[in-house]
Amino acid sequence: MQGTFDTARISNYTLPVPVIQKGDLLSIIVYSDNPQATILYNQAGGNAGSSTGQSGAQTGGYLVDGEGNIQFQGIGSLHVDSLTKPELIALLNSKLQEYLKNPYYNIRFLNYKITLVGDVAKPGTYTIPSERVNIVEAIGLAGDLNITARRDNILIIREQNGKRQFGRIDLTKPDIFNSPFYQLQQNDMVYVDLGKQKVAASDQTTLRNITIVTSIVSTIAIVISVLRR
């Protein structure tokens, strides 16, 4: 990176909290001090946990529908769109504390993944178990940028509430920490553009291949013409 870092600003950087969106898939496992009663509030295959804190089995997950709701086991419809995990826990407590002793929850995003394409070493889709990743860490997951990649114009494509947003990151500038796209969100797509030299080389290769194919086709046509005489 080029330029001078404002270390005070970086040290005061606050990580954004993941927010539930329409289309998210949530794993919500309920635990309490009375596990038999807890069974009612877990999906089939889940573990109605006790106060021991043992992990539950992976469930199919709750899909947040187009209205921002989930159909929660034993409760019914809950509006969860735009909630953080702590806010969802508060909502569940308001519904379940009457029926369960000391309820608590294991909540995870099952669809917290990002996709990196373009001029990176290992393009693909990556699941983020920690539910927190920034653009630099994401590039590391993809094996770093190729030497020919553009570092000053990385495109992030993000969908929120059915609307597509576009942001650009310049890795050569220290102010990337101020960008709302520095910290990635679930389902973000990152596109790393090709450098001018690679684009030119690619164009030359394409032109050469077209020339070769054209020559082969012309030769075949001449041979067929001669054989037909």
Average pLDDT, stretch 96-107? Answer: 95
* pLDDT band with cut points at 50, 70 and 90 for residue 178: confident
Q: Are 131 and 109 in contact (CB under 8 A)?
A: yes
CA–CA separation, 4 and 186 (whole Å) = 31
The pLDDT tens digits of the residues spanning 134-159 come to: 999 999 999 999 999 999 999 999 98
User: What are residue 5's DSSP bridge partners?
Assistant: none
* Side-chain-facing half-sphere of 8: CA atoms under 13 Å: 0
Q: Cα 118–188–192 angle (5° rounding)? A: 20
Residue 45 burial (CB count, 10 A): 10
pLDDT tens profile 71-93: 999 999 999 999 999 999 999 99
Pairing of strands 69-72, 76-79: antiparallel
